[in-house]
């Protein structure tokens, strides 16, 4: 059985998820983003972990592994860590998708502080103790804990599967559904709409096909 057939019922369930229509206004979107921002952040930890295994930053450098894999992971990191910022900003240049998402939160009055504080606690206490903090929404805590269980498993093939199947392959479906069904217009939240459309373009046209090879 091919992978697409295995994934099809799960992708359909995600496409039919009630969360999209539950976001009827700016306040609803703010609540969603204050939960979802943690998955935007932990995605970078997935890809940086894989980069450290596939294309490690070692000095003195020497070539190692599959050059096609090195190219894929380095391109992915480039675009996720330093992509084009929202073009409507007069000072726009480059930023990570996490920073772009935080800008989108601020634009609509959502508060990224809890996630920003979480990153400070990680630096001071480590990921496991930081995840115990009561300020993190429980669904976000469970999702992030699952991500780091993959990372800490010592099995890079599982991390690669979490990235390819659990993120890159399904994000276009999720974000297309959100764009078509939620009740916040591009005029109300231009940065968030840009974030969604940018991800659909990159993941659907480039990242997802490359990640499955």
Q: Is residue 165 part of a domain?
A: no
Query: Rounded to two decimals, what is the model's pTM?
Result: 0.91
Question: Rounded to an integer, what distance in angstroms lies between the CA atom of residue 110 and that of residue 35?
Answer: 11
pLDDT digits (tens, 9 = 90+) for 16-43: 889 988 999 999 999 999 999 999 999 9
Between CA 107 and CA 88 the distance in angstroms is: 12
In a domain, 40, yes or no: yes
Residue 124: domain span = 27-160
Residue among 194, 198, 42, 197 at smallest CA distance from 104: 194
Position 201 scores a pLDDT of: 87
- On whether residue 6 sits in a domain, the answer given is no
* Nearest residue to 114 (alpha-carbon basis) of 167, 2, 14, 36: 36
User: What's the domain count of the chain?
Assistant: 1
The mean per-residue pLDDT over the stretch 63-84 comes to 93
- Integer angstrom CA distances of residue 68 from 53, 73, 137, 213: 14, 9, 38, 10
Q: Is residue 191 part of a domain?
A: no
Residue 202 maps to a domain: no
CB count within 10 Å of CB 188 equals 14
Q: What is the pLDDT of residues 88-140, one digit of tens each?
A: 876 679 999 999 999 999 999 999 999 999 999 999 999 999 999 878 999 99
**Chain mean pLDDT for the chain:** 90
In a domain, 48, yes or no: yes
The answer to whether residue 3 sits within a structural domain is: no
Residue 171 lies in a domain: no
Distances (CA, A) of 196 to 112, 151, 171, 186, 201: 18, 26, 9, 11, 9
């Amino acid at each position: 059985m091919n992978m697409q057939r295995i994934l099809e019922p799960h992708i359909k369930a995600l496409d039919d998820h009630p969360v999209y229509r539950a976001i009827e206004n700016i306040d609803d979107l703010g609540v969603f983003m204050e939960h979802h921002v943690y998955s935007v952040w932990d995605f970078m930890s997935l890809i940086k972990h894989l980069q450290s295994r596939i294309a490690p930053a070692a000095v003195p450098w020497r070539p190692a592994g599959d050059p096609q894999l090195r190219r894929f992971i380095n391109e992915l990191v480039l675009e996720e860590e330093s992509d084009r910022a929202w073009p409507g900003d007069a000072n726009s240049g480059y930023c990570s998708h996490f920073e772009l998402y935080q800008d989108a939160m601020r634009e609509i009055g959502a508060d990224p502080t809890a996630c920003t504080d979480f990153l400070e606690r990680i630096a001071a206490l480590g990921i496991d103790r930081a995840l115990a903090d009561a300020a993190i929404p429980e669904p976000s805590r469970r999702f992030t804990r699952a991500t780091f269980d993959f990372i800490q498993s010592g099995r890079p093939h599982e991390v690669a599967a979490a990235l390819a199947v659990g993120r890159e392959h399904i994000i276009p479906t999720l974000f297309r559904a959100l764009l078509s069904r939620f009740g916040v217009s591009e005029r109300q939240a231009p940065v968030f709409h840009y974030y969604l459309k940018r991800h659909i373009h990159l993941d659907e046209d480039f990242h997802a096909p490359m990640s499955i090879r």
